[in-house]
Every structure is written in structure tokens, then in C-alpha cells.
Structure 1
Amino acid sequence: MSFTIAFYIHHHGSGHLMRTLQIVKALKNHQVILMGSGLKALTELPSNIKVAHLPLDIADENENTSVGNIKSMAFHYAPIGIKGIRNRVALMTEVFQKNYPLILVIDVSVEVALLARLAGIPTIIMRQHGNRTDLPHQLAYDSAELLIAPFSNEMYVGEKDNAYKKTVFTGGFSRFDSVENNVNINQNTVCILVGNGGTSITEMFIKSIALSCNKFHFKVLGLEQNKSNRLANLEFLGQVVNPAETIKEANIIIGNTGHNTVMEAASLNKRFVGIPENRPFDEQIEKAKSIQNRAGIKIVSPNELLKTDWLLLLENIKGEQVDWKGVIAPKAVEILAETIVKTGEKLFKIN
């Protein structure tokens, strides 16, 4: 008897999908289903992978969401009256019914984790940094077969509670793990990474730092220049096909402390200035805490961006030997995939 491995992929930002696609590459011998609302761009996938496109879980203009018990301590987001939620739940439970035996990996949603468990589907939950001791997380974590943290145990922040005890720490990985990094690095080149999940790294801030640090050259990925005024030491490159080619030539990375950005900086062994954004459960703040005491890494809060002496900060950090020791694990993806497979084999008694 074989079993299917399904993934629920949250549509906020791009990090959840990027991480899942890396894991799926290591599951070539298994049937895989990807479920989510942000998967339209996935085409020409291997034959072992199917995609279940889910409708968004937000209200249409004419929907009344003010009825019933609007808030519940048991959920983060479960408004009443939204057709998209009813339809996505129906589609997910259809996937559960038609593809059993099935194990569901959730990255991330406590509501989906609880829905699957109520449908009799075993779950594995991807852990994130942040204060996750609220009731919905406790219910989801308790109902899961195990939790997987795509980072090292030494990066864990928080109490070593029951959830910690059922967590498998795989070590870190990123899409840049296999990138050759043997290029000539310009000591005064800084790469600024602008994500799509909301950021305080604005064009105004970028131009202010370039003006105050004219001996440094700044290359900005993820943001187009909106205004005509140009600076000789500043390039806006927008979205590029192969960002690693630009990043690996830089000496310093400036970016938010989201999971993927941190892991990419570690993979390429770059000096890093991290800016933790306001995210649910203080995820980026906790991620920043997990790396803030390392050499070659500086953390600057959003409210200090325009008050920081950037010339002094960059001069200081470029002379430090960066310390990413223990963050990236060479076999992390393989360990993660193997953990999923072994869990399914144990549950469904496959030898």
C-alpha cells in the first residue's frame, strides 16, 4: 500500500511556496498534491505532482460577514458567511476523501491543520519562529503527529514545552544552497532585498541610505524605481530571474528577517543587516533574536531606520568575519523529506 503526501501552502508572501517546492524535489518517488490559493504559476510539474487550486478565503463585496460569533479563541481566522471559505473547505475535504491514505504537511494554517485532523487525516506542521503559545497553535500542535522546524535547534527561541519535544529540527536550507559562490566580491557593494509581504524598506529609505553612504554601491532587488531622480551609486533591478547572481557579488545584504531571507544570506555566507518587520506572533522579531549575537550580523528595527548612522554601521560590518555557523545543514531538505516519508510509513504500516 502506498500513500499520498499533500501540502497546504499559505498564500501570504512567497516563502511558503519556495520552501515546499524544495522539499517536493526530494519526494520524486511519491505521489504529491499541492493545495493553495497562490499556485496558478505552477506549470509543467513532474508527473508525480498534482495541484489543487483553492479559492481565496476573503469576502466578496456583497457578502455579510457580521453574522454569528465573529471572534473565537479557537481560531485565528474563521469568519462566518464567506463563500470562498466554504468552497475551499469542500475542495480540501474532497482531496482528503479521494486520496486516502494521505498525510498532510501544513505550511502554515492552524485552521487547515484542525480541519484535516477532524477529517481523520494525520498532519505534520511546519514550525515558524514567533510566540506560538496561543490556544489555536496549541490545539493544532497537539493534534499533529509531529512538528518540523526548518532551522537548527540552536536557533530556537522560547520555552522547551510539549511542542518543542515533538519538533524535528532539520537545520536550515535555502534555494541558494547549491549556488557556486566563488566570485570576486566587491567590498563596498550592498544588495538590498525587498520582499512582497510588506516592508519598511521603501524607496525613500533606500535613497536616504545611498545618499549618506556614497562610497558604497547599492543594488536593489524586488523593487522598481518609481521616480526619475537617480543616484550614481544606486541601482533598482526589480524582479530578476536569477537573484543569486546579483547577491553573491555583494559583500553585505540588507533585508527583512523573514525565514527565507535569513537562510539565503546564510547559504551565501553574506554579512547581513536584518530589519524585523511587524508580523503576526512577532515572527521576524524572534527570528532576529535567534541570530542577533553573531559576528557580521546587525539588527536594526524599522523605527530606527532613519536614525541609524548607516555609514558607520556598514563600515563596521564589512570588516567583520560573518558567523553563520550551524545555521545551514547540508542534508536539511533530505532529512525533512525523509521525516515526512517515515512518518507516513509508520502511520499506514508500510514496510
Structure 2
Amino acid sequence: MTRPIGYYLHHHGDGHRQRAIQIASQAPDRFVLLGTGLAGRTAGLEVVDLPDDRPDGVTAFDGQDASDSRPDALHYAPVDHENVRQRVARVTGWISTARPALMVVDVSVEIAMLARLSATPTVYVRLNGRRDDAAHLDAFRGACALLCPFAEALDAPETPAWVRSKTLYVPGLTGKPSTCAVQGDVVLVVVGKGGDAGDGVKIAEAARAHPDVRWRIAGPVTDIPEAPSNIALLGWSEDVSAQIAAASVVVGGAGNGLVNAVLAAGRPFICLPEPRPFDEQYTTAARLEAVGAAVVHPAWPAPAQWPGLLAQARQLPLSKRVGLFDPDGPRNAARRLIGLADSATHDRSLLATAPMDEVIS
């Protein structure tokens, strides 16, 4: 009997879920998703539901606790938290029963350590940013491979050579190419779930100052008193690929999901990085700017700055963006993970030579 591959996905933001679905859907009989709040949101894939481990009454947090007694090898290990106890029991119970050949961890150093303690090899999803703390380095060291959902050109320059050597760079895990016709006067502002809602007042100021531009806002936004007629609020959508492909310019943060979607569509991008743990978005934004794939601005621009920024974004060469996206990313990731799970020695060198059709039928 073929042993399953477990895929743990974190509940902060939505990129983890999107990546998991894209990869696991390539071989739904091999992957089992483990996470919180996944009911009805995994495209029919098998799921192990886990209790919410966040502090009581908190819906968003940075994944770390402030305990003086927390070991350096962990980020979040609260004491006397009943849901954490149940979460650990459910993960180890599933591992004991299902005997997975591999555990993909996207992302949690605690789950990676737990899987390794349960005699299960791990592949750790390595996001961007300064992840040189003891906990991340131990998770990287303990994994048989690391998976980066972005191109190597966007990796942090200070990433150690030994970490890069264990890394499988697989861009294109989210986002999909589109043939939508571009609407030359539309600017799409995308607001994700991982941070604060968009500032409706500032967006309205920009729209009033530039009535020749149609502003489309996807995602949560604060109230806009007397919204100008050139603003359209699209609300939250699980998939904004079509809106991104149709926009003349896309504006948003440097989260992996949005960046991949913009690169997939090949659209000009004004990147406004947001604060995230380990400087993830600031690092990604800096790399996008360095390779000429986006215009980066440190905060929401003043109304008078928009014409120059939009013109600058439209002048960026398309070739700088195209090379950072792989439309076969999900298939390539699934192939590599299945090849690794099925190799008796979990040898990374086998991944590059495993024929696609031998691991995905």
C-alpha cells in the first residue's frame, strides 16, 4: 500500500492553503492536508482538522509567544493551552495511524519538530525573509529538503549556502496565466487576509485626485464615506486572477500569493510591502525591485505621487517578470515531493532525475 504524504498548512493568511491545494490536487490520492478551519475550503481533498492554537480571543498573531522559558528551538509553545494539547495529539495520532512517508510543513517549526520526533521525514516550506534564528535553522537542518515557493532570484542574499543547497525552488505554486483583455484605465488594489484592511480614506483620496483612473479594490477595506464614482469595491474573493490579468497596474503587498499571481499574469506591479514576521515582505519587495520586476514604495503613496508611480510601473520590461514564474509549478512540486516520499533513502539527488509520469499518473 502506498503511504500518504501529509501536508500541514498554517492558518495565518491564505497563501499556505492556496499552495497546499495547488500541489495536492496534482495527486489527490497521495496527499492529506492538516490544518485549522479547512472545512469546505480544500477542493475536496482529504483533511485532518486541527484545533485552533491561537491565544484565546485572538484571531491574528505573529506565531510567537513571549514566555521566558520557551526553548530557542521553538517559536510558539504556550503553557497550559488545551487546544495546543489536542492539536499535538491529533497530529501525532494521525502520523501513528497513517504512517506518512513524508510530512510537508508550511509552515511551523513546532510541527516540523513534532513530525521528526514521530520518526517522519519532513520537507519544510521556506518563506522569504531573515530566518536565521535558532528555531528556523533547526527546522531547516532537520528537514530532508526545503521547498521555496518563489524563484531563486528572489531569495534573500544573506541565505546561507548550506540552506540554499537543500532548497527546491518552485515558483508558480499560486497564480495562473490568463488571456483576459487588459483594461488600460483600471488600477487594481489587492488587500490580503494576513494584515490590516485597506485604508478606505486614503484609497478614496487617490481616486478623487485622479478621476481618469478606475480604481478596483479587491479584499477587505475600511469604510469609505462618500466614495467617488471611479471606485469599485470587489470584496473578498478566493481567486482574483482574472481581475489581476485585466488590470493595467496592480497595487498590493509582497505576500507570496499576490506576487505569484501578478507574475503569472505578467502585469505591472506597484509593491507596497507590509510588516510581517522575519521581514518576509520587505525582503521579497527588495528582491523584486533589484531584478526590475516591480516598483516598490514604502507606504501608501500621497495622491500626487500616483501618476509617476503608475508610469514607472508600466515601463518595467515584461521579461523581468516572466522569468520569475513557472506555470508548471504545482506539478513540479508534486513530482518532487512524491519522488522524495517514494525514495527509500530520501535522497534529494533522486528528485532531479525522476520522470514526471513515473510519479504522477
Q: TM-score, normalised by structure 2?
A: 0.87
Could you tell me whether the CA contact under 8 Å between 1:101 and 1:348 is conserved in 2? Answer: no
Structure 1, 251-260 or 163-172: larger mean CA deviation: 163-172
| CA distance 1:110–1:240, change in 2 (3 Å) | closer
Q: Sequence identity of aligned pairs in percent?
A: 27
Deviation at 1:155, TM superposition (A): 1.7
* Residue matched to 2:165: 165
- Alignment of 1:154 with 2:150, yes or no, is no
Equivalenced residue count is 339
Pick from 256, 261, 265: which aligns with 1:264?
A: 261
Could you tell me whether the CA contact under 8 Å between 2:149 and 2:256 is conserved in 1? Answer: no
* Residue matched to 2:198: 201
Could you tell me whether the CA contact under 8 Å between 2:6 and 2:100 is conserved in 1? Answer: no
* Residue matched to 1:114: 113
- Which residues of structure 2 form unaligned runs of 5+? 58-64, 347-357
Deviation at 1:330, TM superposition (A): 2.9
* Residue matched to 2:60: none
SS of the residue aligned with 2:94? helix
- Alignment of 1:244 with 2:237, yes or no, is no
Aligned amino acid, residue 180 of structure 1: T
Q: C-alpha distance in 2, partners of 1:144/1:53?
A: 24
Could you tell me whether the CA contact under 8 Å between 2:201 and 2:223 is conserved in 1? Answer: no
SS of the residue aligned with 1:347? coil
Structure 1, 152-161 or 260-269: larger mean CA deviation: 152-161
Could you tell me whether the CA contact under 8 Å between 1:187 and 1:318 is conserved in 2? Answer: no
RMSD (Å), alpha carbons: 2.5
| CA distance 1:75–1:240, change in 2 (3 Å) | closer
Q: C-alpha distance in 2, partners of 1:257/1:329?
A: 18
Deviation at 1:145, TM superposition (A): 0.8
Could you tell me whether the CA contact under 8 Å between 2:10 and 2:16 is conserved in 1? Answer: yes
Aligned amino acid, residue 131 of structure 1: R
Pick from 208, 212, 216: which aligns with 2:213?
A: 216
Could you tell me whether the CA contact under 8 Å between 2:155 and 2:287 is conserved in 1? Answer: yes
Pick from 298, 310, 316: which aligns with 1:314?
A: 310
* Residue matched to 2:334: 337
Aligned amino acid, residue 164 of structure 1: R
SS of the residue aligned with 1:309? helix
Deviation at 1:156, TM superposition (A): 1.6
Alignment of 1:1-351 (within 5 A): 1-28=1-28, 30-42=29-41, 45=44, 49-60=45-56, 70-157=69-156, 158-177=158-177, 179-181=178-180, 183=181, 185-199=182-196, 201-223=198-220, 226-240=223-237, 243-295=240-292, 297-302=294-299, 305-306=301-302, 309-322=305-318, 323-347=320-344
Q: C-alpha distance in 2, partners of 1:114/1:123?
A: 9
Aligned amino acid, residue 236 of structure 2: Q
Deviation at 1:284, TM superposition (A): 0.3
Structure 1, 30-39 or 273-282: larger mean CA deviation: 30-39
Could you tell me whether the CA contact under 8 Å between 1:59 and 1:84 is conserved in 2? Answer: no
